[in-house]
Amino acid sequence: MAKPEPSTAGARLRAAVDQERPLQIAGTINAITALLARQAGFRAIYLSGSGVSSASHGLPDLGVTTLQDVLEDTRRITAAVDVPLLVDADTGWGSSLMIERTVRELTRAGAAGMHLEDQVDAKRCGHRPGKQLVTTAEMLDRLKAGLDSRTDASFVIMARTDAVAVEGIAAAIERANRYVDVGADMIFAEAIPSLEDYLRFTESVSVPVLANLTEFGVTPLFSIDALREAGVKLVLYPLTAFRAMNAAAARVYQTIRATGSQQELIDEMQTRDELYSLLDYYRQEP
C-alpha cells in the first residue's frame, strides 16, 4: 500500500530532502516560474530575497524590502503550485517579536520553511565583500524566536551562516553547530569556495547542509555528483532562471528597437500553445 503524501508544505519539503539526494531547489521569482519549475520536475522551489527586491521592486538586495513584500510573492507562488517553497527571510526583519510574526505569517502563506541569517540587519549579498555578522548569541536568539513560534512543527527553520567569508571555515562550522544545538533543522552554508570545505561542513554538522550555487559568486558551479560526494543534501539555484530571463528580455527589447520587428526572435519564444498548456487554459476556458 502506498504511503500517503505529507499533508503540510513543511512535511513535503522534509520528505523531498529524504527522497532526493541531493535535493535540487529551483529559484522562482513569481507564479509562472514556479509553474515552469514544477513542469521541469523540481520537487522543491525557492523565493530569494534578492529576487523579491530586484524582480518585484527594481531595487538592490540591501535589506530594503519588507515582510509584506515577501509575503505577497509567497502567496502568489503557493497559490499556483503545491511544490514546497523555501523562503529567504533575511535577518527576520527586526526583533524577536518580528521574527515570531515572520514564522507565523509565512506558515499561513503556505511556505514550507524559511532561512534566517547571521548578518547584521543592514545586510548585503552573501557573495559581496564587507559583510558583517551578529554575535553567535544574537543569532541563537533569532533562531529561538523562530523555533518557539512555530504553529506547524514541520515548518523548516534553516540557519544560514555567512561566517566563512568573515571568520573562516572553522568558526563557521562552530557557529553552525551552535545553531543546530538550539534546534535549527538545516544549515545554509553561504559562500563556500571549495568541495573540501563543503565536506568539512557536512562531516561536522549533524543536519542537512545546503549549497548555494548562485552564478558569478565565490562558489564554483559544482556538479550535482560532486556535491553528493561532499555530503551536501540540498543544492540551490536561486536566481539562475531569473538571470537568463533578464538576458533574453534585454535581447528582445534591443532587437525590436533596432529592427522594428520581432520576427527573428520567434524561434526563441514560448509559443501561445505552450503557455496555455502550462496555465491549463483550454480546460478552464468558458
3-state secondary structure of 83: coil
- Could you give the CA distance from residue 90 to residue 29 in angstroms, rounded to a whole number? 16
- Could you give the CA distance from residue 235 to residue 240 in angstroms, rounded to a whole number? 12
- C-alpha cell of residue 5: 503524501
In angstroms, how far apart are the furthest CA atoms of the chain?
61
Annotated catalytic residues are 46, 61, 88, 90, 115, 117, 125, 160, 190, 212
3-state secondary structure of 225: helix
- Could you give the CA distance from residue 184 to residue 146 in angstroms, rounded to a whole number? 9
- Could you give the CA distance from residue 257 to residue 260 in angstroms, rounded to a whole number? 6
Distance of CA 86 to the CA centre of its chain: 5
Give 264's DSSP letter.
G
